[in-house]
Amino acid sequence: MDSLLKLLKQNARLSNGELATMLGMTEQDVAARIADYEKRGIIKGYSVIVNEELADNNAVTAYIELKVTPKADYGFDELASKIASLDDVESVSLMSGAYDLGVTISGKNYKEIAMFVAQRLSTIDGVLSTATHFILKRYKEKGIMIEDEVSDERGLVSP
């Protein structure tokens, strides 16, 4: 992958100046390249990786497997975008394998998610079945360790 995108994926808060230094580019070139990526939709936004457990101990996230019936002319796209447009839904992906759509949802508590699945998701026309998996603990997200950093086995000094 492009080094600029890689750096931004690791830390989107690096300034253009810092990125320029690291990549041996000028600040203007970095700004132009980012603007171009944004314009072309390669960069869709900038987000933050939160240790949810520390931020709000009750919040829950669930991963839901959906089996659906594809529509004749639209395949899975129509249904997927319908689900994606729901506010509480964080991500929607078309999957290969045993089910069709993978959906993540966050809620204030378990009940909220259960109700969402029962009332909003399963009732959508074309949804055949759902299987809800609650996330119990996060260890790593988007390449960043959530709990402990990997320990450095190396000594403090070596020649």
Partner 1 sequence: MMDYDKLISKKCAKLKPSGIRKFFDVAAMMEGVISLGVGEPDFQTPWAIRKAAITTLEKGKTVYTANPGLIELRTEVANYLNRTQGITYDPAHEIIITVGGSEAIDLGIRSLIDPGDEVLVVEPSFVCYAPIVELTGGVVVPIETKVEDKFKLTAKALREKITDKTKLLILPFPNNPTGGVMTKSDLEEIAEVLRDTNIIVLSDEIYAELTYTGEPHCSIASLPGMQERTLLVNGFSKAYAMTGWRMGYLAGPAPLVSQMLKVHQYAIMCSPTVSQYAAVEALRSCDDEVKKMTNEYNIRRRWLVNALNEIGLECFEPEGAFYVFPSIKSTGLSSEEFCERLLYEHKVAVVPGNAFGESGEGFIRISYAYSLKHLQEAVKRIKEFLDEIKK
Contact positions vs partner 1 (CB under 8 A) = 3, 7, 10-11, 18, 21-24, 152, 154-159
Q: Which residue, 3 or 91, has its beta carbon nearer to partner 1?
A: 3
Q: Which amino acid is at 76?
A: F
Q: Which residue, 41 or 143, has its beta carbon nearer to partner 1?
A: 143
Least distance in Å: CB of 156 to partner 1? 4
Place of tokens 């839904």: 89
Distance between CA atoms of residues 146 and 137, nearest Å: 9
Least distance in Å: CB of 9 to partner 1? 13
Q: Which residue, 41 or 155, has its beta carbon nearer to partner 1?
A: 155
Distance between CA atoms of residues 74 and 146, nearest Å: 39
Place of tokens 């990997």: 150
Check if the beta carbon of residue 105 is closer than 8 Å to that of residue 113: yes
Least distance in Å: CB of 13 to partner 1? 12
